[in-house]
Amino acid sequence: MLAHALDIHPLEFRVGDFVEGLQELERHPITSSRVHDFLIGAPLRAQALQPYLFWNTGAYTRNLIYRDAFFEVLALCWLPGQKTPVHSHNGQLGWITVIQGEVV
């Protein structure tokens, strides 16, 4: 198991476990289906992400958790009323999950 200095609790799914799971995905062809299945089975909680959560009253924040040649993991933090314009990611695939709050 990957040790990570900012992991919160050894009995829960940690950020280090999440990153280790992504690295395991890279050992075989990466498909949308495999990533989706991984995300469904990767129950990160807000408590585990706490060290990566930063807000700004002027705009939402993009807080880098992990990056390699295949994956970039960010904690995106919006305060009520903040938004981002519709935009593309130049053909890159992306997945998002809401850990805390709601998308409206």
The residue among 82, 18, 86 whose CA lies nearest residue 55 is 82
Range of the domain at 95: 1-104
User: Distance (Å, rounded) from C-alpha 83 to C-alpha 11?
Assistant: 35
Note if the pTM is more than 0.75.
Answer: yes
The number of folded domains in the chain is 1
pLDDT tens per residue across span 4-41? 444 445 557 789 999 999 999 999 999 999 999 998 88
